[in-house]
Amino acid sequence: MKIAVMGGDGFVGWPTSLHLSDAGHDVHIIDNLSRRWIDTELGVQSLTPMDSIQERTRIWQAETGRRIHFHLIDLAKDYEILKQWLADERPDAIIHFAEQRAAPYSMKSDRHKNYTVDNNVSATHNLLNAIVEVGLDSHIVHLGTMGVYGYSTVGAAIPEGYLPVDITAVTGEKVSQEILYPANPGSIYHMTKCLDQLLFAFYAKNDGLRITDLHQGIVWGTHTEQTKRHPQLINRFDYDGDYGTVLNRFLIQAAIGYPLTVHGVGGQTRAFIHIQDSVRCIELALKNPPERNSRVEIFNQMTETHRVRDLAKMISEMSGTEIAWLPNPRKEAPENELIVKNDKFIALGLDPITLKEGLLEEIVEIAKKYAYRVDRSRVPAVSAWTKDIASTINRDPEGKSLKSVS
């Protein structure tokens, strides 16, 4: 297939692009490189050194003989350019990663909230609008988040996207329906993904677009089979308080002797998936598109759930690193259960990679190799969900300010 990977320079977009190219597809990356500009804004860099997208794709072609094309287009702003590109290239499938992906970044300030909404919602709508306008029948695969469900405890497994409900009609009879699982976003970022759901539902119903929405858990790991082939193909690896995912952050903290930062009591239960499984799931979704004029296909893209404090204790025991219990910058319940169905991907043949000590140690070794690139002042999570919470944040988990006084 000819596949457009929107946001193909990113944390999941890059290994997905390599994986699909390796499978023989004609891959076109469309990206505005905004994630690299955000690194500059935050004064932080990927733990792993990243070459330019042009150099990355050159190395891939030199290693494999397969070309990945790159197109500098901003989905949220360059509507006419996007529409013309789609009309000219007419991809068979489009994978949509082109959204600001970090909840903490989306809550940093009013400016960051506006940027996240403007970028994410406009990118999604521009893409759907343009596909209809040029008459494409491309299968759209969108990377969403488990966060659309929220993290409240209901005592039942979260289904894959749709919830069966009974409604009492005016006659008194029970009428059965399936509705989108009630949205319960925990940040501005998560809210944009909930808005995406409604856009997808409308365009599938109104224009017959074929759409798959992947509600993904927290991604951990850094390498896939393809990124291992050459040092310059390595994926980005975020450790900072805004973009670093919780398990990856713990592993980096362990590698550099930084306290494992657990916020609140660590009772937050989260869904996880390894980066290799993430790209496999995207390929499985591509191979199993919904029919035209059917409802949006929704998968829960996760393989296991863990409490944050349990992860921290596991990494602490593995590495001997102490745990720092800090105030929580997020507005969320201190404890939650999370029971999630992921039957669809299992039925399609996914053999999940679960947390194994060998894989965890491999990540720690990568982190140790590039530890010289860490700016320790960027490790704390300091983006607060409300102004009241902001005053409670611990910006110095290592206690360096106290040590310097004594």
CA 402 – CA 274 distance, rounded (Å): 38
Question: How far is it, in rounded angstroms, from Cα 123 to Cα 121?
Answer: 5
- Number of other CB atoms surrounding residue 249 within 10 Å: 22
Q: Which one of 57, 79, 193, 344 is the catalytic residue? A: 193
The rounded distance, in Å, linking the Cα atoms of 361 and 318 is: 9
Q: What is the DSSP letter of 240?
A: S
Q: Give the active site residue among 124, 145, 224, 321.
A: 145
Given 189, 243, 258, 370, the catalytic residue: 189
Angle at 78 between CA 73 and CA 80, to 5 degrees: 115
Total count of residues recorded for the chain: 406
Q: Is 313 a catalytic residue?
A: no
Give the C-alpha separation, 52 to 54, whole Å: 5
Cβ proximity of 136 and 208 under 8 Å? no
Structure tokens at 50: 């990243």
Residue 217 DSSP symbol = -
Confirm whether 193 is a catalytic residue.
Answer: yes
Other C-beta atoms within 10 Å of 328: how many? 20
Task: Based on the residue annotation, tell me whether 145 is a catalytic residue of this protein.
Answer: yes
Instruction: Point out the residues that are catalytic.
Output: 145, 189, 193
